[in-house]
Structure 1
Amino acid sequence: MIRRIEDIKERIKCGRAVVLTQPEISRMLEERGEVSLKDVDVVTTATRAVMSGTYAVLSFPLAAPGSFIRASSARINGVPAWPGPCPNERLGMIDLMVYGTSHSIYQPEYGGGHLFRELVEGGEAVVEAESEDGKVIERSIRLEEIPYARIFSTRNAFKNYVAFVNPRSLPLKSIFSRIEFPPHLAAATVSGCGQINPVKNDPYLETIGIGTRILLNGAQGFVVGTGTRSLPTRPNLLGLADMHQMDPEYMGGFLTSAGPECIGSWAVPIPVLNETILNAILQQDRDIPLTIMDVNVRQKIGKSSYGDVWDSVDLRVR
């Protein structure tokens, strides 16, 4: 049995579509023993994690027209920002790219991810820029004063990830560990949300593609395509959304032992078109391989499953 997206859209329009979260359909499988295409039309999936491949593009008036020729460098709350290719000559405007993983020159524990959340929360940020003619311009700004503010991703929402361990004899600073990574295999850190991951539920990207609507940090956004380092066996996504519509609860900064990183959230609806997609949706954490890698050299040294991480554990953060 194969269905068309148009058919599912019509069922949604008529109010007859069955839309379930991934955990709901998993519970249905546990209770019934089987689930067929007749039981569900759309499954909602999501992931929230440290998303290193995240950046913002901001464009706004910095000073009065004619006050400087063009910007050569800039910082926002001390976080480095890179002027865009458009010169905006003598317009007093500035276009900036800010990496979610950049670190403030004033506060080593503050980075781009923290800045993005503070802007979305309505906070005020200090912009410092230097022009090509040597002028230094400074102003305070809020998100409502930035007409163009988008979050982009170079690669987000990997089809799960891996677990890391440190088999060496010395501790190691790493973005994959909140504290210094202890030696002698004393601890493991895990990335990936297992069965609720969007790409895990559509592993061949049959329904996720250019133009797919998503929620990025709570704001309606769009998939632009696959991201950098995306492979057919391990795809990830590139997307964008307007910062003005984002919810700060779903984003922010995260301090690792190697410095600040950026948290992001994706939510993606998966139309259940065929048995291939349904079988991927029904795959449980215990069925999803989890590769264990040496964090020092990124080489595989073992394997486990996401069931060992997520099944029958207390998820409360203390």
Structure 2
Amino acid sequence: MKTIAEINDKIQQQTAVVWTVEELKAQVAELGVAQVAKTVDVVTTGTFEPAESSGAVLNLGHTDPPIKIRQCWLDGVMAYSGFGAVDLYLGASQMAEMGGAWDTPDPEELREGKGRNVPRERGGGHVIADLIAGKPVKLRAIGQVTDCYPRASVETTITRDTINQFYLFNPRNLYQNFIVGVNGGDRPLYTYLGPLQPRLGNAVYANPGALSPLLNDPDLNLVGIGTRIFLGGGVGYVAWEGTQHFPLQKRLPNHTPIGPAATLALIGDAKQMSDRWVKGCYFRGYGPSLMIGIGVPLPVLNEAVVERCAVQDADLVAPVVDFSIPRRVRPTFGLVSYAQLKSGRITIDGRSVRSAPLSSIFLARQIAQELKQWIEAGEFTLTEPIAPIPGDRTFLAQDRLGSQISLE
């Protein structure tokens, strides 16, 4: 048995043994669980995938005279302004408005060669990524005039260095598992998994499988509220359970879920992040999102940790869901393993179907490696969770149609 305090002492002395989760899996196959548990102190995991339930909190600082912002656009993307006077929340999937804010440039600017259009294929995720990259972002705001806030409007340009707080607060990241999307219909479908070709023309999955942070800690024994993580190239923390957190999902004997299960809400200082690990993206026919890199360190406290982390892609499954049925509960074609998915082909009803990941396996490996280097250098220590992630949440759906009120 080890403790996190003991592991942190070794990290600070730069004597900790840190392996990526793929290195651990290889060593378990060669040395066995018991020997590996005696050797390694920390295992690093990673993922780089779309996370549309993400966004940024910004505090602009007060203007002179002050303004109480009630409508605001950042490069043509509306931000929520329904709290403090100059506090904003910019959602990653908020779309740029056509004909609003900065979509149509000023004619005088066009004549001077300065004007530019905001493309519709742009949204909050792109603005967040631009701010993280240090790029200027145009802001237009309309205020509610009051005695304390007499200013009615403001137009300016901001960067990450000209505003106060700028941090990501992501209500739902790090799905413990997800689905495989296919299309059994007769026309292309444009989904949050990307284009799905008709008549089972392709299959798309969105989880890195055996690299995935929460599939290597299926019971969330190591990850909890307050866990320090790699978030977008900076340091972040687990803030709470994520929205749609569903730990009661059916599970295999190895404790891993057979479909979408646990999720986490994450927070981190965006001013410390890197545009290498935070990218705006757009799904044709669906909308904008945010690609973000996340790495989670798992302390090796006992042999059980190693046994869970030794899980292979062949031991992990996801449901194949038919998106051609426009219902909340769609029919499935059963379960497939991540080993099958990563082979590039899966079999559905006796038919070979191409499969491809929405997440980047290559970048997930790089994140696990970078986090490993931080820990080995003594630059990143582990935290004790201050509370566990709940394990008893059910999944509620809005199945009831709204009742009509009779005026008779």
TM-score (norm 1): 0.89
Q: Contact 1:41/1:272 (CA < 8 Å) preserved in 2?
A: yes
- What is the aligned counterpart of 2:280 among 253, 257, 274? 253
Matched, 1:75 2:73: yes
Amino acid in the other structure paired with 2:171: T
How far off its partner does 1:44 sit? 0.5
Give the match for residue 91 of structure 1: none
Q: How many angstroms apart in 1 are the aligned matches of 2:362 and 2:211?
A: 18
Greater shift after overlay, 124-133 or 27-36?
A: 27-36
**1:187-207, CA deviations, whole angstroms, 9 ceiling, x for partnerless residues?**
111100111111111111112
How far off its partner does 1:4 sit? 2.4
Unaligned runs of 5+ in 1: 89-93
Instruction: Tell me the secondary structure at the aligned position of residue 231 of structure 1.
Output: coil
Q: Contact 2:132/2:270 (CA < 8 Å) preserved in 1?
A: yes
Instruction: Tell me the secondary structure at the aligned position of residue 224 of structure 2.
Output: coil
RMSD: 2.2
Q: How many angstroms apart in 2 are the aligned matches of 1:72 and 1:10?
A: 49
Give the match for residue 117 of structure 1: 129
Q: How many angstroms apart in 2 are the aligned matches of 1:174 and 1:136?
A: 38
- CA 1:200 to 1:22, structure 2 compared with 1: closer, same or farther past 3 Å? same
Q: Contact 2:57/2:165 (CA < 8 Å) preserved in 1?
A: yes
- What is the aligned counterpart of 1:159 among 176, 181, 188? 176
Q: How many angstroms apart in 1 are the aligned matches of 2:59 and 2:293?
A: 23
Instruction: Tell me the secondary structure at the aligned position of residue 219 of structure 2.
Output: coil
Give the match for residue 190 of structure 1: 205
- CA 1:28 to 1:312, structure 2 compared with 1: closer, same or farther past 3 Å? farther
Give the match for residue 143 of structure 2: 131
* Equivalent residues in 2 for 1:217-296, closer than 5 Å: 217-232=232-247, 233=249, 234-257=261-284, 258-295=286-323, 296=325
Matched, 1:99 2:66: no
Greater shift after overlay, 245-254 or 5-14?
A: 5-14
Aligned residues: 306
Q: Contact 1:58/1:97 (CA < 8 Å) preserved in 2?
A: yes
Amino acid in the other structure paired with 1:166: N
Q: How many angstroms apart in 2 are the aligned matches of 1:194 and 1:56?
A: 28
Greater shift after overlay, 285-294 or 43-52?
A: 285-294
Identity rate, percent:
29
**1:74-98, CA deviations, whole angstroms, 9 ceiling, x for partnerless residues?**
1100111011412x3xxxxx11010
Q: How many angstroms apart in 2 are the aligned matches of 1:51 and 1:216?
A: 12
Q: Contact 2:70/2:82 (CA < 8 Å) preserved in 1?
A: no
TM-score (norm 2): 0.70
Q: How many angstroms apart in 2 are the aligned matches of 1:37 and 1:140?
A: 53
Q: Contact 1:62/1:139 (CA < 8 Å) preserved in 2?
A: no
Amino acid in the other structure paired with 1:273: L
Amino acid in the other structure paired with 1:280: R
Q: How many angstroms apart in 1 are the aligned matches of 2:47 and 2:235?
A: 15
Greater shift after overlay, 186-195 or 30-39?
A: 30-39
Amino acid in the other structure paired with 1:10: D
Q: Contact 1:285/1:311 (CA < 8 Å) preserved in 2?
A: no
Q: How many angstroms apart in 1 are the aligned matches of 2:8 and 2:78?
A: 44
Amino acid in the other structure paired with 1:245: Q
How far off its partner does 1:8 sit? 2.2
Give the match for residue 255 of structure 2: none
Matched, 1:16 2:31: no
Matched, 1:52 2:28: no
- What is the aligned counterpart of 1:141 among 158, 163, 169? 158
Amino acid in the other structure paired with 2:315: D
How far off its partner does 1:311 sit? 5.2
Q: How many angstroms apart in 2 are the aligned matches of 1:307 and 1:171?
A: 26
Instruction: Tell me the secondary structure at the aligned position of residue 145 of structure 1.
Output: coil
Amino acid in the other structure paired with 1:100: A
Amino acid in the other structure paired with 1:48: F
How far off its partner does 1:247 sit? 0.6
Q: How many angstroms apart in 2 are the aligned matches of 1:262 and 1:17?
A: 34
How far off its partner does 1:155 sit? 0.8
**1:5-57, CA deviations, whole angstroms, 9 ceiling, x for partnerless residues?**
22322333344321101111122234446553113111001111000110100
Query: Which one has a bigger Cα radius of gyration?
Result: 2
